[in-house]
Amino acid sequence: MPEVRTAHTADLDAAALAAARGLLDRVFEDEMTDNDWEHALGGIHALSYEDGELVGHASVIQRRLLHGGRALRAGYVEGVAVLADRRRAGHGRAMMGALERVIRGAYEIGALGATDEAAAFYTALGWELWRGPSYALTPDGIVRTADDDGAIYVLPVEGVPLVLSAELTCDWREGDVW
């Protein structure tokens, strides 16, 4: 069973944050940007260890998503990665379980942007594909983000009505908005 530690960014020391960033750089190679790392900060991190070595990272941060005339408090999952030689050993599932507990207890919806390779993983955990059009609330107004359609997944929280085929708009941030 993987050992998963959860902590807020503020409670992680410089060495733990450097190890997490190094793991993400290693897993995502040239695709991990400073903006991507910044997106993963400021919330709860789930760190997975095997024999004392950090082998996985994921975090959930707060964002606002607009849906059905409401601004939903969203737990947005970022920086999910497990070292290639440690995959399929339960690390991803254990980290997501820890973050889903946070989402269900503190947010109105969970959301994330998934790669094609990770989509089946999230679906198996009960995340649902958002089928409606996506947008971002930018400094220039609401802008369509069609390239992100088909890659956004949500974790519904009990009592919050969602129409998965309707519009979903995220708040603005530098880099990848979704």
Which homologous superfamily is 3-170 in? Gcn5-related N-acetyltransferase (GNAT) (3.40.630.30)
pTM score of the predicted model = 0.96
Per-residue tokens: 116:
């094609």
50-81, pLDDT tens digit by residue? 999 999 999 999 999 999 999 999 999 999 99
- The average pLDDT across 159-173 equals 97
pLDDT at 115 over 80: yes
**Residue pointed to by tokens 């941030």:** 173
The pLDDT, as a whole number, for residue 30 is: 79
Residues 6+ away with beta carbon under 8 Å from 110: 60, 74, 75, 76, 77, 99, 100, 103, 104, 127, 154, 155, 156, 157
30 vs 143, residue with greater confidence? 143
DSSP state of 121: H
The pLDDT, as a whole number, for residue 1 is: 77
* Highest mean predicted confidence (pLDDT) among 6-10, 87-91, 157-161: 6-10
